Amino acid sequence: AHAQGCRVCLCATNFDDDELHTLLSTPAYRATAVDNLVSQVVAMNADGVDLDFEGMNTEDQPPLTAFTQELQAALDAALPSPWLTLATPAVDWGGAYDYDELMYASSGLFFMGYGYHWSGGDPGPVAPKEGSSLWGGYSLAWTIEDYIQYGGVLDEIFMGLPLYGRDWPSVDDSIPGEATDTSDAIIYTSAISESATYGAQWDPESTTPYYMYQDGGWHQVWYDDADSLLSKIELV
């Protein structure tokens, strides 16, 4: 990766709100985590860390900022040009992430621009480009504006896009549809292959392809392809 000019970053992941509260609210635990992360980065000749802490509680917003500041300071002391980013939500429902303070304390926020329709919800575009009367206001465009408004550091806002889709068992082929069970994730290559079999359709409201099929009932599969991803990249 280094030979191709790419950074290599250690991803630290935790999706448990209780564990995150225990870690972040205790300065000694934060210090141990910082030491462990920096030691691993240095030992492996890597370039930094990406923090993927999800399911955060609102009360942990200040200690997350403190942890980020502490980790950045330790990386600065250990590496000449360290990189520290945070994976952050498309919609911060609980107000757990202080966008501007986290931007100042790191190299930037990598917002996860997907999951607008999720496993336990009804079928629809995983990453709609724009808001619409059909799908509502939440979209990549809305998220970008939200990060600009509450973060403000433009060159520290990074958009992640999905190389996957979701397959929802559905009541019928109506759009918007109604799920009959939770959806399964489908990877990019499988979605492209299946869409050729079942017939890809295009949703202009979200700039997203989809297809439908019957297997013990209706299924709706919403995914992204090269055209939809290019359009969303151009949104930046």
Q: Say if residue 152's pLDDT is above 90.
A: no
- Whole-prediction pTM: 0.91
At residue 94, the pLDDT reads 87
Give the pLDDT confidence of 20-72 residue by residue, as tens digits: 999 999 999 999 999 999 999 999 999 999 999 998 899 999 999 999 999 99
Find residue 51's DSSP bridge partners: 12, 86
Q: How many Cα atoms within 13 Å fall on the side-chain side of residue 230?
A: 3
C-alpha distances in Å from residue 60, one per residue of 11, 22, 105, 149, 151: 20, 10, 16, 21, 18
Give the pLDDT confidence of 167-177 residue by residue, as tens digits: 999 999 999 99
Q: How far apart are CA 224 and CA 163, in angstroms?
A: 7
Give residue 117's identity as a one-letter amino acid code: H
Q: Which of 207, 129, 133, 211 is nearest to 168 (CA)?
A: 211
At residue 75, the pLDDT reads 98
Give the pLDDT confidence of 87-96 residue by residue, as tens digits: 999 999 989 9
User: Do 106 and 70 meet the contact criterion of CB atoms below 8 Å apart?
Assistant: no
Give the pLDDT confidence of 112-137 residue by residue, as tens digits: 999 999 999 999 999 999 999 999 99
Is the sign of the CA dihedral 143, 146, 151, 156 positive or negative?
A: positive
At residue 79, the pLDDT reads 97
